[in-house]
Amino acid sequence: MSKPAEEKSYSAPGRVCLYGEHQDYLKLVVIPAAVDLRTTITLQKNQSNKIKIKSHELEKTHEFTVMRDLPLAFNDFDYFRAIIKVLFEEKKINEIPGFDISISSDIPIGSGLSSSAALLVAWLTALDDQLNLNLTKLEIADIAFKAENQVLGVNCGIMDQYSSSLGGIFSLDCNGPPYNTKSFTSNFDSIIIGDSCIRRSANKPLTILKNQINKGFEKIKQESDFKLATLTFDELENFKSILTEDEFRRLFGVITIRNITLQARNELSKKSQDIELLGELLTKQQDMLRDYLEVSIPMLDKLVKESINVGALGGKLTGAGLGGCMIALAPGKEEKIAKAINAAGGKATICKIDYDGAK
């Protein structure tokens, strides 16, 4: 009898988006921070050609036979199939053995903390090691993005997969590939996350906004060769008459968040950072997300407001919006802010920045 295969664990972190919400799919700059909430995959090769998965959080199991041209099952486990499909398509593998897999996660699903990217990245990190694929962390991010965007049809950008794979705080210029990244060492090491406990599929706000923004911007491009990366407020104002009110508001929000993100990138690049300014820039973004992109909800607004009332330097929703979580920046006052978030009906978690990424 051959020896049973060794059991090994692999994990990847969730993330918050500090600056640049709804900018990645527009090829603009984003600044995510990976946090110490992780999805862990424990697996061992089995003697079959079947992948057998058990999810602790979902209390569900799923099993499928591995093959080329693997169909999707349209269930919660399609993330596993999507990665395998991209690996075959990109000729990174010719075959794949069976595995017994168990998943556990402390990233709440559908909460804006990138639970899906963490699962994709953890699974791909596991396959990279088990099959000796020698993928770099950037390649892992790219493949995970293809799986989520092209195979699973989510209208996301590249921020979540890059953040989960690389870890840390960095700016990512989404105008690629290749995508430019610049890592920062921030003057703060914790973030308070406030969960509204309202779940939604991120694809809804992503699809609505992406369509509105692109429709508006297409109209502008027909008139002249503008780029979202450089469009000014005066130029946008000149096109007001050809845009619907919603299109104008969305584009105004997008270019304001673009400018806030560039200002934050500049501040984070400094050795000694103005932490109050970094806080203010979070709140300015939240105002745009609430009033111009219209993806906030009253509970998230309330959690941001209550956090600031008791001393946070700033806060915003994180992720696509319409539910999920907010974040607050309050170095040294984390406990106080967490209490206020809980008292306001949210669920607070104090997170450390994760500098490991997938492992």
Interface residues with ligand GLA (CB under 6 A) are 17, 21-22, 24-25, 156-157, 159-160, 202, 206, 319-320
- Peptide bond just before 205 cis, omega within 30 deg: no
Name the residue nearer to ligand GLA (CB basis): 70 or 213: 213
Rounded Cα–Cα distance for residues 174 and 313 (Å): 28
Name the residue nearer to ligand GLA (CB basis): 82 or 202: 202
Asked whether the beta carbons of 260 and 285 are under 8 A apart, the reply is yes
Rounded Cα–Cα distance for residues 170 and 192 (Å): 19
Q: How far is the CB of 110 from ligand GLA (least distance, A)?
A: 11
Rounded Cα–Cα distance for residues 110 and 254 (Å): 23
Q: How far is the CB of 145 from ligand GLA (least distance, A)?
A: 9
Q: How far is the CB of 201 from ligand GLA (least distance, A)?
A: 10
Name the residue nearer to ligand GLA (CB basis): 23 or 186: 23
Q: Return the amino acid letter for 304.
A: V
Full DSSP string of 291-320:
HTS----HHHHHHHHHHHHTT-SEEEE-SS
Strand partners, 348: 194
Name the residue nearer to ligand GLA (CB basis): 93 or 197: 197
Helix axes of 137-146 and 159-166: crossing angle, nearest 10 degrees: 150
Q: How far is the CB of 113 from ligand GLA (least distance, A)?
A: 9
Rounded Cα–Cα distance for residues 342 and 340 (Å): 5
Q: How far is the CB of 317 from ligand GLA (least distance, A)?
A: 10
C-beta neighbour count of 207 within 10 angstroms? 15
Q: How far is the CB of 157 from ligand GLA (least distance, A)?
A: 4
Nearest by Cα to 251 from 270, 265, 238: 238
Name the residue nearer to ligand GLA (CB basis): 20 or 314: 20
Name the residue nearer to ligand GLA (CB basis): 93 or 109: 109
Name the residue nearer to ligand GLA (CB basis): 128 or 160: 160
C-beta neighbour count of 245 within 10 angstroms? 8
CB-nearest residue to ligand GLA: 156
Q: How far is the CB of 164 from ligand GLA (least distance, A)?
A: 11
